[in-house]
A = this chain, B = another copy of it.
Amino acid sequence: MASWLAEISEAETEPLVLASVLLSLIVVYLAAKVGGELCARINLPPVLGELIGGVVVGVSALHLIVFPEAGASPESLLIDFEALVTGETPAGLAQVFRGESGVISILAELGVIILLFEIGLESDLKELIRVGPQAAIVAIVGVVVPFAAGTAGLITLFGVDTVPAVFAGAALTATSIGITAKVLAELQKLSSTEGQIIIGAAVLDDVLGIIVLAVVASLAKTGEIQILNVVYLIGGATVFLVGSIFLGRLLSPYFVAVVNQPRTRGQVLISSLIFAFVLSYIAAAIQLEAILGAFAAGLILAETPKHKELEEQISPVADMLVPVFFIVVGARTDISVLNPLDPNNRPGLIIASFLVVVAILGKVVTGFAVFGQPGINRLAVGIGMVPRGEVGLVFAGVGAASGVLSESLDAAIIVMVIVTTFLAPPLLRLVFQDGSTSAQAEAQSPVQEDALPTASASQVSGQD
């Protein structure tokens, strides 16, 4: 009789919120599994299928998973269905809608936190430090080149004003660590040298992205750049990443000692989640991203003797929460801006073609900036940095909210994000299959395609 939570609550809509969350999760999982399985069968990365599944159930098509802030069509068909089933009042339904979409948003954020925790667990800190200089080069080149080329091109070729051009250029610098990491895991390339360079660079790019966003957002708002804020963010990120890993390694023997004396179920998993959530909270509290904390926590726990057990236990949790993230990313993407038949879209689509070219070339060159690593697949490194994903959408969202971007430029950024995000996974699979990969050991990764560990060999070969 679980609805007691609601019965004793003043908000009598809570059982309806639970029902709507259950319906939403059913839709999310159906979309993720159908999309993922279809893509896997036509030799595309399953995560692409999840993104497309999200588009199908989201604001662009079926309106099943939508969020109140989605401008054009805030109507949720799920909520309409609930209205039919329950006969709830419109005011009550609006409250249910807010509650339901709030819960799904938070589940999506917990999903990407768990994903980055899992990626951290499977990364090798020593290898990351070894390829650190290369990763830094890739990250910096991947910020500078697209930004400079994009901003200059918009000003000279399209006559865009400086501030909006800078904003659009900034949107080109992002990399979606979530999508890149997931594709690498699916290809079992996470532990290759290329994989570790990409992950290291994507993490640094995430930090750089936060700084770039802070800069352009204050530029858009006040016309000035707040130097102190930039210094604070750079300092905070450095202290956090170095400090958490240093302290974490110092304290991890105590962690192992605690989880070695369990009298209750789930001791390893829960202790690890506490650790991951603490670092995530700290990262979020100092204006960084929660996912950076989760990644650091994973890196630290990867070095403990418990990491195998933990990987096995975190895997079903990730299976449950991570698809919510990718479906939500897809569901929030309004692909109607891609329609060339709508005359309103055409100016945006022309600028978008330019942005897409800069976005891809500007990241592909980063692979060729890597030094001292003969024999690595440079193209794969560059392609790995291409997907803008949810990070690119932030820039578009902040730009639209601040009023700096014209409608067509805003649409062009969204198109650029969609194309790079949906193109990168198949491209990455292609270049990793064709190109020569390094001799680095590519251990069988637990973040793999198959659900059955015992059947992995046949399935992996069946996919390729």
Contact = CB atoms under 8 A, between A and B. Distances in A.
B33 A289 contact: no
B290 A22 contact: yes
A451 B391 contact: no
Contacts of A462: 263
A303 interface: no
10 contacts: A1-B289, A2-B289, A5-B332, A10-B68, A18-B109, A46-B265, A102-B103, A259-B451, A270-B320, A273-B320
Interface of A: 1-5, 7-11, 14-15, 17-19, 21-23, 25-26, 29-30, 32-33, 36-37, 40-41, 46, 67-69, 85-86, 99, 102-103, 105-106, 108-110, 112-113, 174, 177-178, 206, 209-210, 259, 262-271, 273-274, 277-278, 280-281, 284-285, 289-291, 309, 313-320, 323, 325, 328, 332, 390-391, 393-394, 396-398, 400-401, 447-452, 459, 462-463
A69 to B, nearest CB: 4
A304 to B, nearest CB: 15
A82 to B, nearest CB: 9
Nearest to A325: B2
B109 A451 contact: no
* Main DSSP-derived SS at the A contact region: helix
Contacts of A273: 25, 29, 320
A2 B271 CA distance: 23
A451 B320 contact: no
A459 B262 CA distance: 8
Nearest to A391: B1
Contacts of A29: 270, 273-274, 277
The 3 lowest CB-CB distance pairs between A and B, nearest first, are A266-B319, A8-B397, A40-B263
A109 B5 contact: yes
A7 B328 CA distance: 14
B449 A269 contact: no
A294 to B, nearest CB: 9
B266 A316 contact: yes
A2 B316 contact: no
A398 B7 contact: yes
Given A1-B291, A19-B281, A266 B451 contact: yes
Contact of A284 (B15, B266, B313, B449): B15
A274 B22 contact: no
B4 A320 contact: no
A451 B102 contact: no
A43 B263 CA distance: 10
B284 A19 contact: yes
Nearest to A396: B8
A11 B99 CA distance: 12
Centre residue among A15, A23, A113, A319 by max chain B CB count within 10 A: A319
B7 A291 contact: no
Contacts of A450: 262-265
A210 B452 CA distance: 40
A113 B315 CA distance: 20
Given A106-B103, A270-B323, A319-B265, A112 B69 contact: no
A426 to B, nearest CB: 15
A224 to B, nearest CB: 21
Given A317-B317, A397-B8, A3 B266 contact: no
Contact of A1 (B21, B174, B313, B447): B174
